[in-house]
Amino acid sequence: MIKVFIIEDDPMVMEINKHYLESVKGFECVGTAANTSEAWTFLEKNRVDLILLDIFMPNENGMQFFTKLRKEEKKIDVIIISAASDIENIKTALRLGAVDYLIKPFQFERFIAALTKYQKEYEFIKTQKKISQEELDEQFLFQKKSPNLKLPKGLTQETLQRVVNQIFEIKEGFSTLELADMLGISRVSIRKYLHFLVEIEFLSFDLNYKTAGRPVHRYYVNKRNISKINPYLQATNK
């Protein structure tokens, strides 16, 4: 379990980030702080693997905190989540070793992608003592960009985005009927999208025999395959 600490002075944003984090398997929010003073107190007594760090905060800002964290050689990774979009803050964060930088407001999918990428690298490093140049390139340096892919006939990017957004909000498995009711889309149409998402291995399913009559398909997100949806959400349908 990856232990995550959130430093954010806006209570509403803090709750949103915490909610997002708790929806991802393998991550645990071990604490939160509204300022860096609270953060230092927490870090003195607790182990943390990853910090989700805001920049704009009263007194010591996030970048000052990050700089001090590195000077003290704390072995903690940092993802910046901030409204700061100026190039100087971004360059400073990257120089300090931020593993990712999310600019507010960001889409839930981008948050998931950041955590998924981090989780993959974290687990890979844990299991390795030495790695080859090929593994280093593949895991960290020269990762290939996903190509934009066309959706199957009859599916639209706009509806796919709605379907995926709703799925991310569901923590447990769901049926075709449940998802159709949530979105206000016909079951026939939803089945087409679910079939596609299973086909690209974004979703898996099993059969629920507890209901009366025919067994019901229940769908689940494949956490390790979340990124497989990205090329299709980027696709342009003509």
Looking at residue 152, its pLDDT comes to: 87
At the fourth CATH level, the homologous superfamily of domain 2-141 is: Response regulator (3.40.50.2300)
Residue extents of the structural domains in the chain: 2-141, 157-233
Which residues in the chain show pLDDT less than 70? Answer: 136, 138-148, 208-214, 234-238
Please state which CATH class domain 157-233 belongs to.
Answer: mainly alpha
Looking at residue 209, its pLDDT comes to: 62
d(CA 7, CA 34): 6
- β-sheet bridge partners, residue 208: 216
Looking at residue 32, its pLDDT comes to: 96
Cβ-contact 206, 61 below 8 angstroms: no
Looking at residue 182, its pLDDT comes to: 94
Q: What are phi and psi of 5, to 5 degrees?
A: -120, 130
List Cβ neighbours of 47 (8 Å cut-off, separation of 6 or more): 3, 30
Q: Would the pTM count as exceeding 0.85?
A: no
Cβ-contact 84, 94 below 8 angstroms: no
Rounded (to 5) percent helix, strand, coil in the chain: 45, 15, 35
